[in-house]
Amino acid sequence: MTISKWRAELKRGEVSARELVGKYIERISQVDSSVHAFLDVTSERALLEADRIDKRLASGEPLPPLAGLPVAIKDNLCTKGVRTTCSSRMLDNFVPPYESTVTERLWEAGAVLLGKTNLDEFAMGSSTETSAFGATSNPWDSSRVPGGSSGGSAAAVASGECIAALGSDTGGSIRQPASFCGVVGLKPTYGRVSRWGLIAFASSLDQVGPFTTCVADAAEILNVIAGADHRDSTCLNVPVPDYCADLLKPLKGLRVGLISECFDQEGLASSVKSSVLAAANQLEGIGAQLIDISCPRFNDGIATYYVIAPSEASSNLARYDGVKYGHRSEGGETLAEMMAKSRAEGFGSEVQRRILIGTYALSAGYVDAYYKKAQQVRTLIRRDFDNAFKKVDVLLTPTAPTTAFQSGAHSNNPLAMYLSDLLTIPANLAGLPAISLPCGFDKAGLPIGLQLISNVLDESRLLQVAYQYEQAAEVMKNCPSGEFIP
């Protein structure tokens, strides 16, 4: 199901919003005990909202663009009156008194909240296994991970439990799970979308974006969520174009750069490499010009990220002290003991690891050697991209080095886990928009993701290239069957 199909069915009066939303609630009750994409399902609220849309339809009122659209929201986005946990014991009982800007814009556009989706605790992870409320499984093969940290949102879209979902991407958390689950995932330019009400992980990297089944739907969602917000001073005050307007524009003459550093990675699976290169050739077939590009600092992204992101996280997570909000330990004689105990009980081990790395990197004796050095390398990575975009319009890489891995495969090896974001992190460090979309399947029938990166605020071009490729390649036409793929 796509947004345009949904809208057409509703307008023609073939089905009511209640019937359509009901179908998704039914689907969730059928499959989510196995997939576990959702932490909370808000059926009652969804049906009430659907009734409201039906009334408006009956009275002949013009409907907003996403009227009745059932969406799922990553559980690190605040939803007023609806529990928001970040998949952490720390926020187990947190019910936000306010709504995030992105969700507020979705509701204003008529979308309907189906529920909150699972994630790695505080969005730290690449497999959705560090959730304090249990892991999500990959809808293609339940013995595998859906990717992370927005694994719940990706799995919910892939298994047909919703039409679209929101996630957040700090180092790849939209694109990598989109790649593992065979759906489209878009990370907008840093500052294109408001972060107000997104529970902060690493504030200079975090960005909200959509998961959808097709590129046109990603454009539709971006149209609604993008744009200035006075409550987020890092949100850019530049006009929002109609992201659907250029999708059909032919690619003739468009220059697509293949980042050479990405294709001779040691850990790059051969099936991923060949599928992504085949996609590049297909783009050439529809008018694009392929150019080899070098970004010498690309592979330094991961080391840079794992200094900057934990540093920012250690600062952002200092607010969970058992006093202002979140879990509070009953034990402890002194205030300091109570805080320490609350944090030890409330945070899982990956979150604690990041806080330790971050506070270490920011400590007086080390801040120059680690944090400032990482910021300098970040600038060099950004410069590589600036140079690349003098020669090409869009860059192309695989989204992840492999397809979805087995659950537990990297649970005891954080470094191996961190490497799954090798190809997505540089776009976050440079603040660039990037999209992942399916480009094929490996021998096991698991989806492979293609990543496209464009220059700052050039989402229109990114979506145009992705859309043209999607239409030409028809990857999902030859989709093998998955365990929970409708």
Residue 114 or 178 with smaller CB distance to ligand GLN: 178
Q: Which residues of the chain form contacts with ligand GLN (CB under 6 A)?
A: 123-126, 149, 169-173, 201, 309, 421
Q: Write out the DSSP string of 408-430.
A: TTTTT-HHHHHGGGTTTHHHHHH
Judged by beta carbon, residue 418 or residue 469, the one nearer ligand GLN is: 418
- Using the minimum distance from each CB to ligand GLN, give the nearer residue, 240 or 303: 303
270 flagged as catalytic? no
The residues near 14 (Cβ < 8 Å, ≥ 6 apart) are: none
Which residue has its beta carbon closest to ligand GLN?
173
**Closer CB to ligand GLN, 122 or 385, in the complex:** 122
Query: The tokens of 184 are what?
Result: 């489209």
Residue tagged active-site, from 74, 168, 179, 187: 74
Sorted by sequence, the CB contacts under 8 Å of residue 102 that are 6+ apart come out as 77, 166, 193, 194, 197, 198, 208, 225
Shortest distance in whole angstroms from residue 426 CB to ligand GLN: 12
Q: Are 193 and 207 in contact (CB under 8 A)?
A: yes
- Which entry of 87, 173, 311, 436 is annotated as an active-site residue? 173
Quote the least distance from Cβ 170 to ligand GLN, whole Å.
3
Beta strand 208-212 pairing with 447-454: unpaired
Please give the Cα distance from 482 to 486 (Å, whole number).
Answer: 8
Annotation marks residue 294 as catalytic: no
Min. distance of Cβ 254 from ligand GLN in angstroms? 28
Choice between 173 and 403, CB closer to ligand GLN: 173
The residue written with tokens 């663009």 in the block is 65
Using the minimum distance from each CB to ligand GLN, give the nearer residue, 75 or 421.
421
Torsion of CA 329, 330, 332, 333, to 10 degrees: 140
**Residue 143 identity (one-letter amino acid):** S
Shortest Å, Cβ 480 to ligand GLN: 27
Distance CA 256, CA 67 (A): 36
Q: What is the distance, to the nearest Å, from the Cα of residue 341 to the centroid of all Cα atoms in its chain? A: 32
SS3 assignment, position 198: strand
H or E stretch at 152: helix 151-158
Residue that the structure tokens 């330790």 belong to: 356
In the complex, the smallest distance separating the C-beta of residue 173 from ligand GLN, rounded to whole angstroms, is 3
**341 flagged as catalytic:** no
Nearest distance in Å: CB 348, ligand GLN: 13
Strands (E), 269-371: 289-293
CB contact at 8 A, 112 and 99: no
From the candidates 87, 127, 131, 149, which is the catalytic residue?
Answer: 149
Instruction: Point out the residues that are catalytic.
Output: 74, 149, 173
